[in-house]
Chains A and B, each alone.
Chain A
Amino acid sequence: MGLFDFLLAKKQTATIAKDRLRIIVAHERAGRGSNSPDYLPMLQRELLEVIRKYINVDAEAVKVDLIGDGESKVLDISVALPENPAQA
């Protein structure tokens, strides 16, 4: 802190922290909600391993969600392929 520092507006980093936390916490809570069984993360990891035997994909490329739609539930698996899917 030096001469006249107080005149300069400081960057409000706490606001950035709060916004980032709101998003990530909401995301992570959704991932462990009551309609999200324990096996989803494991299923996602194993699927990723299998897919990687054939295609080089990022860890985030495989998304596994259980979508509750009234009485029926849908296991939604999506795999985003890289632009140049090189074989593993």
Chain B
Amino acid sequence: MAEIIVVTSGKGGVGKTTTSASLACGLARRGHKVAVIDFDVGLRNLDLIMGCERRVVYDFVNVVNGEANLKQALIKDKRFENLYVLAASQTRDKDALTKEGVQKVLDDMVAEGFDYIVCDSPAGIEKGAYLAMYFADQALVVVNPEVSSVRDSDRILGLLASKTRRAENGERIKEHLLLTRYSPNRVETGEMLSVGDVEEILGLKTIGVIPESPDVLNASNKGEPVILETESNAAQAYDDAVARLLGDTRPMRFITAEKKGFFSKIFGG
């Protein structure tokens, strides 16, 4: 049975698409058959992060409208043969996606034998975000250790617990926090909320902490999900998060500050 995972946050720019791309690659690298869907109608971006922007012929809305079938619209990844991308439509019609339409596409994917379907939610709490989370079994709530992101995440957690199919059936979505852009040094100096602070405020455990890293921008420049930059701390942190999602226990890495030498303390840097 396919597991539907929504990557959501409320706030924009916290790393939903980066996370969706890395999560999808991480699952595919472990041999699972994975589809990753861009729900951000009008602002397609997952294709760029996945590096398949020039191979988009048909999109999500085309499939919903019956202008193409799922097989035609799924873009096969060049790195993993068991990984597929479904691009968002660039239409400005906000009502292009309907609950019935989304359900049909997801049902088709389940019938195609996908193990995991990753839904990359748009920012906000409008229809796109609602549809991205509605059918989910699990939710990855991406949060930056920063006041507006934490507050918006709490809002999203409220919606996950009330406005989803599982909630309507009296079940719960399995929710996970994923902290991104984490700076252990700034946490140490008391300038940034710690993992523990965010967990305490939101009442939820973190499944991963992705350190602030220049590799994320470099990877997106290249169209390579950052999890594939194996030397990078961010990649290793994403891989740990994927492993935990699949049930492994792994210690949290990259959450303590690098020890500064005596001289750098005095002279700065």
B147 touches A21 (CB 8 A): yes
In the complex, how many angstroms separate the beta carbon of A11 from the nearest chain B beta carbon? 8
Interface string of A1-33 (1 = CB under 8 A from B): 111111000111111011011101100110010
How many residue pairs, one in A and one in B, have C-beta atoms under 8 Å apart? 55
Interface string of B163-201 (1 = CB under 8 A from A): 000000000000000000000000101111110010011
B147 touches A20 (CB 8 A): yes
B269 close to chain A: CB less than 8 A: yes
In the complex, how many angstroms separate the beta carbon of A59 from the nearest chain B beta carbon? 19
Q: Which residues of B contact A22 (CB under 8 A)?
A: 201
The prevalent SS among residues of B at the interface is helix
**Binding-face segment, B104-112, B251-259, B260-268:** B260-268
B151 close to chain A: CB less than 8 A: yes
A32 touches B158 (CB 8 A): yes
Q: Which listed residue, A10, A18, A28, touches B197 by the CB 8 Å rule?
A: A18
B155 touches A28 (CB 8 A): yes
B201 touches A10 (CB 8 A): no
Enumerate chain A interface residues (CB-CB to B < 8 A): 1-6, 10-15, 17-18, 20-22, 24-25, 28-29, 32
B151 touches A15 (CB 8 A): no
A1 touches B155 (CB 8 A): no
Q: Which listed residue, A3, A12, A21, touches B267 by the CB 8 Å rule?
A: A3
Q: Which residues of B contact A13 (CB under 8 A)?
A: 190-191
Q: Which residues of A contact B245 (CB under 8 A)?
A: none
Considering the complex, which residues of chain B in the window 129-174 have a beta carbon less than 8 Å from any beta carbon of chain A? 146-147, 150-151, 154-155, 158, 162
Q: Which residues of A contact B193 (CB under 8 A)?
A: 14, 17-18, 21
Q: Which residues of A contact B158 (CB under 8 A)?
A: 28-29, 32
B202 close to chain A: CB less than 8 A: yes
Q: Which residues of B contact A11 (CB under 8 A)?
A: 190
What are 10 residue pairs bridging A and B, where the CB atoms are less than 8 Å apart in the complex?
A: A3-B266, A5-B268, A6-B265, A14-B191, A15-B190, A17-B193, A18-B197, A21-B151, A21-B193, A25-B151
B268 touches A21 (CB 8 A): no
Q: Which listed residue, B151, B187, B189, touches A24 by the CB 8 Å rule?
A: B151
Give A34's nearest chain B residue, CB to CB: B162
A14 to B200, CA, bound (A): 13
Given contacts A1-B269, A6-B266, A28-B154, contact A14 B147 (CB under 8 A): no
